[in-house]
Amino acid sequence: MKKISLTKYTDFIVEKTCELLNIDSPTGYTEEAAAWVEKEFAALGFETKRTNKGGVIVDLTGGDKDNGLLLEAHTDTLGAMVSTIKGNGRLKLTNLGGMNPNNAETENVRVVTKFDGIYEGTFQLANASIHVNGEYNDTKRTWDSCEVVLDEDVKNADDTRKLGISVGDIVCFEPCVRVTKSGYIKSRFLDDKLSVGILLGLAKYISDKKIRPSRALYAHITVFEEVGHGGSGSVPEGCTEAISVDMGCVGDGLGCSEKQVSICAKDSGGPYSYPVVEGLVAAAKKSGADYAIDVYPHYGSDVEATLRSGSDLRHGLIGAGVYASHGYERSHRDGAENTLRLLIAYAL
């Protein structure tokens, strides 16, 4: 297969990814992001349907309805929730998903109240002035030792409650989106908003080229992936295969870089379907996609939740390489393009 130019679509992926990254959507607070997803796929001419859980199913058209392929990516991210209003008016948090306080210290946050708007603050170590706190360097960063310092004149818990802040309010961490001249994409929550951007790029390619895939093709933009049940249920009738399009891991002992597409052979949930892995590798070779095959030691995906919910499917996992997962993450436009290239070769 001649290697096709995808620059136009990679530019589109980066643009849409950045838009989505700037929409707060920690697990449990995804309505605005889901509405954006519906709007963007509809603008490309595709029918969407909101699930009861809050995800979005997209019909990317196609032929054989008895051998459908489902592509899954998630728009929910890590975040936190107010668990206690402290006596000094500051907020103790509990994590949503795998948010790690070591990776969040000194980050700006937004506290989303249920009825009284949004307040800004900073996630800090308690007693954060190093000139005052002699134990600053030795204190382990935990959800108990860190707090949100509100950017409001509060001196006690009653002051904070009067703002309308209460236990159960969502706390969103600033993504800090940046795209460098050299093509690197840096932000919190590339996992998995970059993959949502990639599936939008695939949809634009299908729309522009007026392609009708030989088998039914769907996308499920899930929510609640970060807490393990995003891909449970909502599989369109007739699907026989599902592929999670999530981040590819980059780190010691793995072959993938941020410029490649990773094909996962096994993660903490066990091996992926061998025929699917074989097919993905063959498609990568045929299309000229730069790829790596890896085993992820600490990872679980949407498609595994789909299987655990009772679906009878072949399953796979791919994604653009992402470094510093669940922290301040980094990928590259080449990784997005190679993932798109593989999807075009495999799904269309």
> What are 72-122's pLDDT values in tens digits?
999 999 999 999 999 999 999 999 999 999 999 999 999 999 999 999 999
Question: Which tens digits make up the pLDDT trace of 26-61?
Answer: 999 999 999 999 999 999 999 999 999 999 999 999
Cβ atoms of residues 74 and 246 within 8 Å? yes
Task: Please tell me the predicted confidence (pLDDT) of residue 30.
Answer: 98
Give me the percent of the chain exceeding a pLDDT of 90: 97
C-alpha dist (Å) from residue 289 to 227, 282, 293: 31, 10, 12
Per the CB < 8 A criterion, the answer to whether 149 and 120 are in contact is no
Tokens of 247: 């981040």
pLDDT for 207: 97
Averaged pLDDT for residues 152-179: 98
Report the CATH fold assignment for 79-173. Answer: Elongation Factor Tu (Ef-tu); domain 3 (2.40.30)
Q: How confident is the model at residue 2 (pLDDT cuts 50, 70, 90)?
A: confident
Categorise residue 224: left if φ over 0, alpha if ψ from -120 to 50, beta otherwise: left
169: tokens are 């309010």
Structure tokens at 249: 């891991």
Where in the sequence of the chain do the CATH 2.40.30.40 domains occur? 79-173
Mean of all residue pLDDT scores within the chain: 97
Strands 79-85 and 91-96: antiparallel
Q: Are 112 and 170 in contact (CB under 8 A)?
A: yes
Gap between the Cα atoms of 68 and 215, Å rounded:
6
Does domain 7-77+189-347 sit in CATH 3.40.630.10? Answer: yes
* Predicted pLDDT of residue 62: 81
pLDDT tens digit sequence for 245-255: 999 999 999 99
pTM of the model: 0.98
Do 284 and 343 touch, CB atoms closer than 8 A? no
**DSSP state, residue 257:** -
Of these residues, 225, 226, 241, 258, which one is catalytic?
Answer: 225
User: So what's the pLDDT on residue 64?
Assistant: 80
What is residue 191's predicted lDDT score, i.e. its pLDDT? 98
CA distances (Å), origin 67, targets 43, 56, 177, 216, 217? 27, 21, 39, 7, 9
CB contact at 8 A, 209 and 43:
no
Residue 271: pLDDT over 60: yes
Catalytic status, residue 225: yes
133 token code pair = 């706190």
- Secondary structure class of 339 (helix, strand, coil): helix
Q: What pLDDT score does 197 carry?
A: 98
Q: Give the CA dihedral 123, 107, 175, 331, nearest 10 degrees.
A: -120
User: Residue 220: which pLDDT band, with cuts at 50, 70 and 90?
Assistant: very high
CA distance 2 to 211: 18
Q: What is the DSSP string of 139-195?
A: ----TTTEEEEESS---SHHHHHHTT--TT-EEEE----EE-TTSEEEETTHHHHHH
> What pLDDT score was predicted for residue 9?
98
Distance in angstroms between the alpha carbons of the first and the last residue of the chain: 13
Per-residue pLDDT at 319 exceeds 70: yes
Q: For residues 304-324, give the mean pLDDT.
A: 97
Res 3 pLDDT > 90: no
Tokens of 216: 């039914």
Give, in degrees to the nearest 5, the angle at Cα 179 between 204 and 320: 55
Residue range(s) occupied by CATH 3.40.630.10 in the chain = 7-77+189-347
What is the reported pLDDT for 96?
98
Please, which pLDDT band fits residue 1 given cuts at 50, 70 and 90? low
Confidence of residue 346 (pLDDT cuts 50, 70, 90): very high
Q: What is the mean pLDDT of residues 237-264?
A: 97
